[in-house]
Amino acid sequence: MKQNFGKRLLGALAAGFVTLILCGPISGIRLDGYEFESQFKIPLLFAAAVTLLRLLSDFIPWERVQADSGELQPGPERFGALSRTAFALAIFLVAASLPLMGSKYLLSISIVALIYVLLGLGLNVVVGFAGLLDLGFVGFFAVGAYGYALGAKYLGLGFWGALPAAALTAGLFGAILGFPVLRMHGDYLAIVTLGFGEIIRLVLNNWLDFTGGPNGVDAPPPTFLGWEFKRSATQGGTPFHEVFHLDYSPLYLDSFVYLALLSVVGLSIYGVSRLRRMPIGRAWEALREDEIACRSLGLNHVAIKLSAFSIGASIGGLAGVFFAAYQGFVSPVSFTFFESALVLAIVVLGGMGSLVGVVLAALFLTLLPELLREFSDYRILVFGIAMVLIMIWRPRGLIRMRRPYFPQEGA
């Protein structure tokens, strides 16, 4: 790879140059009355970004499997456990330093992006690992969100109590969904799960006495060790800024939600990547590959399916709690089929079963509409075109699922 670095650099520069030619006239020249005003900063930035990405893409091992022989390549296993932990920790710390930039806008879109990362991770277990096409995943998101809002309203449940409670409740709902669909595959399964998601939304919409119906429910802002992050305490705690004698800033609440969410995302990534290498994760994948062969090996397909549904659902439930806590309000409008479709798109585009892919796709698909705000009329169009293009060029998703590599004995 090193010997033709010059060639790659040349290619990258050429790509940047083409970008400059393509983008220059569109984004670099602005009409001001009858005058032209040239702004070369923007196309130059574009070109630099393209050059850099082109160069980087050569060093990112997109394909973990050699296309011709089907031979697996060693993944991160070749680095020691220590350096892998250090790498993960470094990424976590970089991500955790985002609140220091002091931008509320950046924080809020990052929170939304991370919520979708969590949803993507959850659905990835069901669709990517176990191969069960679930079109009603938003139902579990709703269970988590309403679990927090209603738990706070009726049971006085706090944020930290709601996290495990919502995960368990959503997991239970996952298992309940699992039972009737045990014998279904593919299209039939997709339709039933679609119905399940809609049922949850309709129940939330119509059960006026309990859920507030279309009016929604207020969800209290999260607290931590009795500290509240609002200007004045409303839940019997002390405001955070008073404890530390700081000036009040609306960033505190967002930063706290962001950091808590980031930790949960980190733990989920760790948990899911461990599960993949455990017997249960292997069984999920085997079930996706061939259910009949699974049964012939003594694997109980019922238990395996139910566990995939409920573990995926409980991660979705966690995302729901963060959504409710951050928005401060939940209503059935947030849990439409479009959300399920978006999460499914995240999993499929990212590469079914690939954790890195799902995280990247979730960030991409939630941040892209923000970047495209100027073209807001065409957002969904651009979104759709991007999906079609990715499916043409990378039918297995951005990053193909990496299989565990087992080094030769004694090597």
Partner 1 sequence: MASHTQALSRDPELLRVEQLSVRFGGIVALNKVNFTVQPGTITALIGPNGAGKTTAFNCITGFYKAHEGAIWLRDRDGQPQDMVQLQKGYFGGTHRVARAGIARTFQNIRLFSEMSVLENLLVAQHQLLNRNIISGIFQLPRFRASEAGALETARYWLKEVDLESSANLLAGSLPYGSQRRLEIARAMCTKPRLICLDEPAAGLNPRETEELAKLIQKLRGTHQVTVMVIEHDMSLVMGISDHVVVLNYGEVIASGPPDAVQKDPKVLSAYLGTEDEG
Contacts with partner 1 by CB under 8 A lie at 65, 69-72, 271, 274-275, 277-280, 282-283, 285-286, 288-290, 292-302, 403-406, 408-409
Q: CA angle, 204 as apex, 198 and 206 as ends, to 5°?
A: 100
Of the two residues 68 and 374, which places its CB atom closer to partner 1 in the complex?
68
Cβ contact 335:204 at 8 Å? yes
Of the two residues 241 and 403, which places its CB atom closer to partner 1 in the complex?
403
C-alpha distances in angstroms, 267 versus 88, 116, 260, 271? Answer: 11, 15, 11, 6
Measured CA to CA, the distance from residue 175 to residue 173 in angstroms comes to 5
Of the two residues 304 and 358, which places its CB atom closer to partner 1 in the complex?
304
Q: Minimal distance in Å, beta carbon 388 to partner 1?
A: 24
Measured CA to CA, the distance from residue 131 to residue 27 in angstroms comes to 43
| Nearest residue to 48 via CA among 13, 22, 6, 23 | 13
Residue type, 274: R
Of the two residues 394 and 403, which places its CB atom closer to partner 1 in the complex?
403
Q: Minimal distance in Å, beta carbon 407 to partner 1?
A: 9
Q: Minimal distance in Å, beta carbon 281 to partner 1?
A: 9
Q: Minimal distance in Å, beta carbon 242 to partner 1?
A: 39
Name the pairing type of β-strands 329-330 and 217-218. antiparallel
Of the two residues 156 and 164, which places its CB atom closer to partner 1 in the complex?
164
Of the two residues 250 and 404, which places its CB atom closer to partner 1 in the complex?
404
Q: Minimal distance in Å, beta carbon 207 to partner 1?
A: 32
Q: Minimal distance in Å, beta carbon 337 to partner 1?
A: 29
Q: Minimal distance in Å, beta carbon 312 to partner 1?
A: 14
Q: Minimal distance in Å, beta carbon 72 to partner 1?
A: 4
Of the two residues 111 and 306, which places its CB atom closer to partner 1 in the complex?
306
Of the two residues 30 and 183, which places its CB atom closer to partner 1 in the complex?
183
Residue 65 is given by DSSP the state: B
Q: How many residues does the chain have?
A: 411
- What region, left, alpha or beta, does residue 70 occupy, with left being phi > 0 and alpha being psi -120 to 50 degrees? left
CA dihedral angle for residue 213, residue 215, residue 218, residue 219, rounded to 10 degrees: 50
Measured CA to CA, the distance from residue 119 to residue 317 in angstroms comes to 8
Q: Minimal distance in Å, beta carbon 283 to partner 1?
A: 6
Q: CA angle, 76 as apex, 74 and 77 as ends, to 5°?
A: 70
> Which pair of structure tokens corresponds to residue 389?
């293009």
Cβ contact 189:287 at 8 Å? no
Measured CA to CA, the distance from residue 349 to residue 135 in angstroms comes to 15
Q: Minimal distance in Å, beta carbon 299 to partner 1?
A: 5
Cβ contact 113:362 at 8 Å? yes
Of the two residues 282 and 379, which places its CB atom closer to partner 1 in the complex?
282
Of the two residues 30 and 277, which places its CB atom closer to partner 1 in the complex?
277
What SS3 state is found at 31?
A: strand
| Nearest residue to 27 via CA among 52, 45, 8 | 45
